[in-house]
Chain A
Amino acid sequence: MILPIVFCIVTYLITAAVIFPATSSYLAMADLFFSDKERDVTSPHTNIFVPVEDSSQPDTESSQPKQETIKASDFTFPSYEDQFGELIIEDCQIYADLFFGDSWYVLGNGVGIYNGSAIPGYGKTILIAGHNNTYFNGLKYAEKGQIVKIRTNYGNYQYEITDIRVTTNVDRSAYDLNAEEENLILYTCYPYDTLGLTDLRAFVYAKYVSGPMIDKNS
């Protein structure tokens, strides 16, 4: 009864010889649609936020923030839709969980970093979205000089609001994702507290004040 096994092997060998040369490039491309592990559909997101001790308080003698460096290998990078911190603007009464990504799930549970921008400490633009009727409703009270605190699973950061601007959702000049210095941009729909939707967005710009920088080469 070895013959049926031989039939099976020969059939697949012939099929492979005929099909693979013509389809190998498509098969390699199809591999892009698959990840390394099975998707966990039971839990909506992972919370990796464990507050770290604040070690970057301003130096009392020089009044300058103490800048530390942390190795990228020393902490867990958030995956899409992971909660990895919190965002606080006390002057605006904003206390929101911070997620990586800006899906409807994220924006229904807090504020989220656009995944084409950077995470705090990376030395680039951090673009954070939130809804004007919920977590970012307090942005209507934003003023220059107010402090934005971001606490993450790897360090605590402070930024100072420098500008507020209202523009359309297609205005690309409202943000620069290629900036080579750490800066924070918060944005939400505009106007606040009204029924319906417009194409206007409110942008709040803030400069880096303190927090550990990530050593990208580590």
Chain B
Amino acid sequence: MVGDEALMFDPAPSDDQRVKVLRAAAACPVQALQVDMADLPLPPPGETVVAAKGDRLRRDGRIVIVGASLAGLKAAEQLRAEGFSGSLTVIGDEPEEPYDRPPLSKQVQTGFVTSADTTLPRRRDVDAQWRLGVAASSLDLERKRVVLADGAEVEFDRLLVATGVRARPWPVPEEAALDGVFTIRTRGDAAGLRERLMAHPSRVLVIGSGFTGSEMASVCVELGIPVTVAEAGPGPLSGALGGVMGRISAGIMREHGVDLRTHTKVNALQGEDGKVRRAVLSDGTTIEVDVVVVALGGIRNVEWLESAGLAVGVWGLACDAGCRAFTAAGLVTDDVFVAGDVARQPQPMFGYQFLAMEHWGNAVTQAEVAAHNMISGETDRWPHLEMPAFWSLQFGHNIKSVGVPPIADQIAITQGSVESRQFVAAYGYKGRVVGAVSWNQGKWLDFYEQLIEQAAPFPLPYDMTNPPADRTPVPAEFPERTYPGREATVVVTGHDPSERRAVLVRPNRRR
């Protein structure tokens, strides 16, 4: 447990723990613990299974899922749960079975679990053909084939794109290649970093203080390793939670002895004999480091789709609320679906903005909706209307968020006290609640979820238990957003409506 509410568990318990594991899973009040059920007899088909009579696709269609991670696995399970009996192929560039990423920057680094033990539990046997260790390199929509890096082609009737995000590497390749410089996205990254942390480095530099960077700083503190955090913005987490929360996080980091440098960039990483030794910071100082963790966010894995004529860009692959991908011209496709970090979807609750949600829960629910829609008729399709939510564990605190805080203009503490680190804050945009974040008070977030769903007024106009000292709204202080629409994305050609076409302008790839 971290604090009172965040459960840490061994993802690969031994068999003699079986009953205890089942007891624990049954006891979760929100049934959020999933137990590997693949070796148990199949549960009877649920009531959602529609009679497959005459539905050729459901019976013997060919479905290909590109991306063997959380979203890919959940989609595969949902397809089988809904009675899809055709062929299912899952393609993944990593050699491993789908595994869970949140522990990689937490339990794996502190040594509570090994990176090899993060394999995701199966809720059922998905009976899929797994093509692992070879990436998809392009998509031929005309011929309905995925082309793999080794030249093989896989035909499909329906395709699910779940290729996710990769870590944004350090932008200077020679420096990124120095031994001791890590990103953290894959199991391999996590195992390598863990090994290095175990070798008692004299100092770790974390570049960036979003959630991954902050969690890594927390891990270093827990392991007793001196750590410097270089953050170009005003404070940790301020991109996701705004400046007010950023200052609180900064205070916590410093209390724990983290050398936090805000408004500070890393100008150069310097090495000796191929190993990183120093970092030159924009505040004029140079620090000695043995390990550098680059935590600058991610890059969406869409390059393989650039010639396919789909609506891809740095913000991901755009789709409708039912996860059907758009073409470059903005037409909705029938056979290409998208889910997970790479999906950019309109959010009806948030002004129909197209948002990509890089959250664990989003990958699960979006995959389930996409899978359902892939084998369902037009009148039976589901919209993906899940409330965005995420969590982070750092410095002994459990931070949880619901809604979309970054679109807010104001924030107000609503419950508890910031000093005790037990509080809830609500985010408002133009007088409506759009998000909430809790520190060690996660059990209240269901309430805020409802407020967001109802577009309830902000600030909250009533008394509550455990009132804060001051509940006056203040500016939320988010960095100014860049809007996708400002950059040219397509070139349109043709005059007659039947001839109009849109072709993607290839963005300059950011490395």
The answer on A and B forming one complex is no
Using a CB–CB distance below 8 Å, which chain B residues touch chain A? none
